[in-house]
Amino acid sequence: MTVDHAAPTRRERKKLATRQALEDAALRLFAAQGYEQTTVEEIAEAADVAVRTFFRYFSSKQDVLFGEVASDRLGRLHTELAARPLTEAPLDSVIAAMEKLDLVGTDEEQQILARLDLMRHQPTLRIRYLELINSMRQAIVEFVADRSDTDARRDMYALLVAAAAAASWETSLSLWAESGGALSLRELRRQAFASLTAGLPERP
């Protein structure tokens, strides 16, 4: 979906393929037999690699579900925010970065839907999810404070913009997952963020 500026080497392509095979195998097994019931050995076996290869890519079973997603989304948020012009109002920069981060491809959407579904039944996965959202919120607090030359720990405006962003991700993901992916994640996210920054609508 995204175009890399430097084409990956064969070695890099091979690594990406192995990682993807492990992720696919893990999600398949988790869905079929349950997260707790699935062992790292089974995941490695299903992806046709050695257990020690699994651990070259992931530090734990949990990490297959969230490690990559977490570092990827957090990294992209940092990149998108840093790319916004210094003259732009920080709130507009946050809106623009969120637009770039929206899931719009079907493959990616399906992967996230599967993860969200597993999460409902797994408290440990929910914790990782809360931590990810929290890290993304923290990145926004620091961005807004930095662009406004304020102290992030004392800037209520920065904290509120970031809280609205975090809440709009959580709310839209939750409503979207509940609809089985039928609603538009982007529209839900836009609506939630607008409500939390410009005022809630009247109770419908």
Where do contacts with a second copy occur on this chain (CB under 8 A)? Answer: 89-91, 126-127, 130-131, 134, 148, 153-154, 156-157, 159-161, 163-164, 166-167, 170-171, 174-175, 178-179, 188, 191-192, 195-201, 203-204
Give whichever of 90 and 103 is closer to a second copy, judged by the CB atom: 90
**Are the CB atoms for 85 and 180 separated by under 8 Å?**
no
CB of residue 38 to a second copy, shortest distance in Å:
23
Residue type, 75: G
**At closest approach, how far in Å is the CB of 45 from a second copy?**
32
Is residue 189 within 8 Å of 102, Cβ to Cβ? yes
Identify the three-state secondary structure at position 199: coil
Residue 168 beta carbon to a second copy: minimum distance, rounded to whole angstroms? 8
CB 181 within 8 A of CB 161: no
Which is nearer to a second copy, 5 or 154 (by Cβ)?
Answer: 154
176, burial (CB in 10 Å: exposed 0-12, middle 13-18, buried 19+): buried
- Taking the complex as a whole, the smallest distance from the CB of residue 52 to a second copy amounts, in Å, to 28
Q: Which amino acid is at 34?
A: G
CA angle 137, 140, 142 (to 5 degrees): 110
81 and 39 Cβ atoms separated by less than 8 Å: no
Nearer to a second copy, 3 or 156 (CB): 156
Q: Which two tokens stand for residue 155?
A: 């800037």
Q: Which is nearer to a second copy, 18 or 171 (CB)?
A: 171
Q: Nearest distance from residue 62's CB to a second copy, in Å?
A: 13
Task: Decide whether 51 or 130 has the Cβ nearer to a second copy.
Answer: 130
